[in-house]
Chain A
Amino acid sequence: MSFDLDCTVQPGDRPIRASFSSNARLTALVGPSGAGKTSVLNAIAGTLHPISGRIVAAGEVLFDSAAGVDLPPEARGAGYVFQDARLFPHRRVLANLTYGEKLARRAGWIGRDEVVDLLGIGHLLDRWPATLSGGEVRRVAIARALLCAPRFLLLDEPLSSLDAEKAERLAALIERIRDEISVPILLVSHSAEEVERLAEQVVTLT
C-alpha cells in the first residue's frame, strides 16, 4: 500500500478528517484551499500530530493512536518538498543538499551527481539560498528531498510559481521518478492539468 490514512488533524480551529488509501505510484491530493492538504502532508511527515487515527506510508505504520505508534519525523523516511522550500539560509546550496544525504538511514536510490544533473543545479552549488530565483530554490529543495534516501515523497505544489518551461521540465522529472523508481509519491496540487498528467489516483479533500 502506498498510502493508507484515516486520521484527524487540527492545525487550527477546525478538525480535518483525512481518510483514503491508495496503491498508486503517484496519488494526487486535491481540494479547495483551506481544506487541509498541507496539514495532511505534515501529519504524514510527522511535523503535525494528529488528534487520532492511523497513518501508513510505503507499507510502514508511522502513526497509530490506538497502538501507541508515533514515529518521530527523522525516522519516517519522508522526502518532503515544502511549498515554501525551506532551504537553510545559513548553508550554501551544496551544504543544503548534503544535509539529509549525510543523515540517511538507508542506501539512497539516486546519487548526488545524478540529482544535480537531473535538476540542472550544478552551477548553483556554491551559492547562498538568498541569491537564488524562485525556480532555482524549488529545484534545490527537490534535490535535497531526493537525496535523503526517502521511502516516499511528499510534494506540496512543486510546480506552482514556475514559468511554463521550468514547470514542464519538473513535471517530466516527476514522471521519471514515478515510472523508474518505486517510491510512492503524494502530490498536492491545485492545477487540474498537472493532476491529469501525473496522477494515477486522485483523492479529494473537502
Chain B
Amino acid sequence: MLTPAEWSIILLSLRVSIVAVLLTLPLAYALAWLIARRRFPGRMLLDAAIHLPLVLPPVVTGWLLLLLLGRGGPIGGWLDRTFGVTLVFHWTGAAVAAAVMALPLMVRAMRLSIEAVDRRLVDAARTLGASPGRAFFTITLPLSAPGIAAGAMLGFARSLGEFGATITFAANIAGQTRTLPLAIYTGLQLPGGEGAVARLAVISIVLSLGALLVSEWLVRRSQGSRAHVL
C-alpha cells in the first residue's frame, strides 16, 4: 500500500492541478471567446501566443516563467515587494507552471464549443430583447458549458503530468513542488526507489485516464442529451 509520504505527494498533485485549472478557467474561456467570436488585429498572434506552451520545450516555458515571475523578475519582484508572495520553490509556483502549460488545451476545447454555438440563436435572443451581455449569459455560456467542463478535465489531466516547466520554475522540493511526475523522476534517481516509482506511476495512469474518460463522457453527453431528454 501507499506510504504517508506517497499520499502527501498525491494530495499535493491534486491540489496543484485543481488550483491550476481554477486559476486558468475564466482566462481560458475569455481567450477562447475572443478568438472564436471577435475579429481584431493581432488575433492570429494572440492565438499563436496561447499555443506556444504546447510546442515550446517545457524547460523553455519554465525558464521564461522564472525570468518573469522569479524574485528578480518584473512581476515576481512586484509580488514579493507588495504582497510578500514568492512563487518560486512554493506549491503555488508549481500551480502557475501547470496553469500555463494547461492553458492551450483548455482554450482549444472551449473555443470549439463556443464556435459550435449557433450565432443565429444569439441573434434570436437579441431580437427578443436581450442585451449582448444577457444573450451571452443565457445562450452562449450554457450552450458551451460541456466544452468548459471538457476543457477543465483536459487541463486537469495535463496539469497532473506537468514536469519540465515545473522543475525549471518551481524546482523539485519535497512537500512543496514535488508532484507525481517529479516524485517519480526523483525515485528513479535513488537506489531502491523502484517500488515507489511503480506505485506512483500506476496512480498517475489511473488519475489521467479517469480525467480523460470524464472529459470524453461530458462531450458525448452534451452531444446526445437534447435529442433524448424528455
Contact = CB atoms under 8 A, between A and B. Distances in A.
A88 B139 contact: yes
Interface string A40-52: 0010011100000
Contacts of A130: 226-227, 229
Contacts of B139: 88
B129 A105 contact: yes
Interface stretch (B53-61, B116-124, B174-182): B116-124
A104 B142 CA distance: 22
B143 A82 contact: no
A122 interface: no
Interface string A84-107: 101011100000000110011100
B225 to A, nearest CB: 9
Contacts of B131: 72, 74
Q: Is the interface of B mostly helix, strand, loop or mixed?
A: helix
Contacts of B130: 74, 99, 103
Interface of B: 118, 120-121, 123-132, 134, 138-139, 142-143, 226-227, 229-230
Q: Which of B120, B123, B128 has the most CB of A within 10 A?
A: B128
A3 interface: no
B138 A46 contact: no
A154 to B, nearest CB: 8
26 contacts: A45-B123, A46-B127, A47-B123, A47-B127, A72-B126, A72-B131, A72-B132, A73-B126, A74-B126, A74-B128, A80-B127, A84-B120, A86-B118, A86-B121, A86-B123, A88-B121, A99-B138, A103-B130, A128-B226, A128-B230, A129-B226, A130-B227, A130-B229, A131-B229, A131-B230, A148-B128
B126 A47 contact: yes
Contact of A103 (B118, B123, B128, B229): B128
A89 B121 CA distance: 9
Contacts of A144: 128
A127 B142 CA distance: 18
A131 B228 CA distance: 8
A156 to B, nearest CB: 12
Interface residues of A, number: 29
Given A82-B120, A128-B230, A99 B125 contact: yes
B127 to A, nearest CB: 5
B128 A82 contact: no
B37 to A, nearest CB: 15
A78 interface: yes
A171 B53 CA distance: 60
B126 A86 contact: no
A76 interface: yes
A86 B127 CA distance: 11
Nearest to B132: A72
A80 B129 contact: no
Nearest to B129: A103
Given A73-B123, A86-B124, A104 B226 contact: no
Contacts of B121: 86, 88-89
Nearest to A77: B129
A36 B227 CA distance: 33
Given A82-B124, A128-B229, 15 more contacts: A46-B127, A73-B123, A74-B128, A82-B120, A86-B120, A86-B121, A86-B123, A88-B121, A88-B124, A88-B125, A99-B128, A105-B129, A130-B226, A130-B229, A145-B128
A131 B130 CA distance: 25
